[in-house]
Amino acid sequence: MGLAEDTPTLAPAQIRKTATVTVGLLMGVWVIDYVDRVMMAVALPFIGEEFALTKTEQGWLITAFSLVYLLCQVPGGILADKFGARRQLMVSLLLWSLFTALTGIAWGLASLLVIRALFGVGQGLFPGASFKAIAERTTPAVRATAAGAMLASNQLGAGVAPLIVAPLILALGWRHTFWVTAAAGVAIGVLLWKLLPKALPAHLNGSDVVQDEGTSLGAVMRSPSVWKFAALFCTTNMLGYGLITWVPSYLLEERGISLINTGVMSAIPGLVSCATVFLGGWLFDRFFHDRARLYVIPLLLVTAVLLVLMLMADSAVGFTVYQTLAMGVAGLSAMGILGMPVRALPPAVIGSGMSVVNVGGQIAGVLAPVLMGFLVDEFSYTAAFGLLIATTVLGALIALIVPQRPEQFSLGTKEFA
């Protein structure tokens, strides 16, 4: 459903416009998505102080969201495949904006945990619907590039969030800041509803291919290739979740940096990573789409080395420089990790298939905040950031066993070239 199969053949310019507008709108929504997430990390020191929370308890505020977000990935993908993208995108946006606003009236740890878990429901419906919207409104030839542009906006959101949130918290307090961003979410939801183009005809987006049992949901869930990519995404996504959650607190508490300067220093790595994800998508499509391991593994190993240098830095500036380099190099690898399933999954199951892959990434969102919070409480920030070095190296090892070419990507008992 949701496919405009009776639409007349479109001119190439209209096809490009449909893809461009779709990607642009989804990028805007992903930016708001990540602003809402990163806002909690920037606000954590103030929330922790107001409610006298330990670092482990603060980590649970991120993990509560991430756990529910994870559990909603596959159901969200199934719903997107069944009903199409438009309505689900709107429902997701309105739900997460509601619970962003409710965060501002929380009265303690228990209420925050419940509200942030419900926030995870709203955002958990979004990824599968966004991949479905891409699949419905792009041709297979440009789909990986379109998905890469959309995913790059994650890092843009992570980069601009501290620049927006830190001044707002200083000016309005952390509670009012959540209300302001909730209003922004509703506004962009209205724009999405009004401006999202209709789906391309089936013969253009590839959904007219006759589907069989090899492209069923069961085949997706049984696919070794899908779960290998999920495992790879889990280990490599630990880096992003870990740094986004704990770097602001580290700079404030260990380096004595002001909130505004903390916002600036936290923003730089995300903005650089945004640019490198775009560049990495182009490099992967242009040179490495059939040699993913040759592309991903060296980048992950270089990232691990840069993280070691980050921990050895003797100043906040040095820490930020190496963090920026590490996230920039890791950003180059992003479409090597996600580009293959985006290219290989049939459009009829891309929502559920990419949701399974995304489950792996969100397991990292469950584990990284609370594990690192525990390591800070029991040992030090050095131990917490050291965990990210280990998981990045593990990701390089897992990359040795993932498919490198679409014809190696198995879906149940079927293979797709």
| pLDDT tens column, 227-267 | 888 888 899 999 988 988 888 888 888 887 777 777 777 77
pTM for the model stands at 0.69
Q: Quote the CA–CA distance of 281 and 339 in Å, as a whole number.
A: 8
pLDDT of 43 higher than 70: yes
* pLDDT given at position 1: 41
**Contact between 133 and 196 (Cβ < 8 Å):** yes
What does the pLDDT look like over 139-176, one tens digit per residue?
876 776 777 678 777 777 777 877 888 888 888 888 99
- Give the list of residues 6+ apart from residue 45 with CB closer than 8 angstroms, or none: 248, 249, 252, 253
Q: Evaluate if residue 335 carries a pLDDT over 70.
A: yes
User: What confidence tier does 345 reach under pLDDT thresholds 50, 70, 90?
Assistant: low
- Share above pLDDT 90 across residues of the chain, in percent, rounded to a whole number: 15
Please write the tens of the pLDDT for every residue from 81-139. Answer: 777 788 888 888 888 889 989 998 988 899 999 999 898 888 888 888 888 888 788 88
Q: According to the model, what pLDDT value does residue 17 have?
A: 87
pLDDT for 3: 42
* Contact (Cβ atoms closer than 8 angstroms) between residue 158 and residue 241: no
Tell me how far apart the terminal alpha carbons of the chain are, to the nearest angstrom.
Answer: 25
Using only C-alpha atoms, what is the Rg of the chain?
Answer: 20
Residue 417 binned pLDDT confidence (cut-offs 50, 70, 90): very low
Please classify residue 46 by burial: count the beta carbons closer than 10 Å to its beta carbon, then call 0-12 exposed, 13-18 middle and 19+ buried: middle
Where residue 365 falls among pLDDT bands split at 50, 70, 90?
confident
Which residue(s) pair with 410 in the sheet? 415
Query: Are 263 and 365 spatial neighbours (Cβ–Cβ below 8 Å)?
Result: no
pLDDT score, position 308: 95
The dihedrals phi and psi of 166, each to the nearest 5 degrees, come to: -60, -50
- The CA dihedral of 295, 355, 128, 345, to the nearest 10 degrees, is 60
Residue 247 host element (H or E): helix 224-253
Measure the CA angle with vertex 214, ends 290 and 337; round to 5°.
30
Q: What's the chain's average pLDDT? A: 81
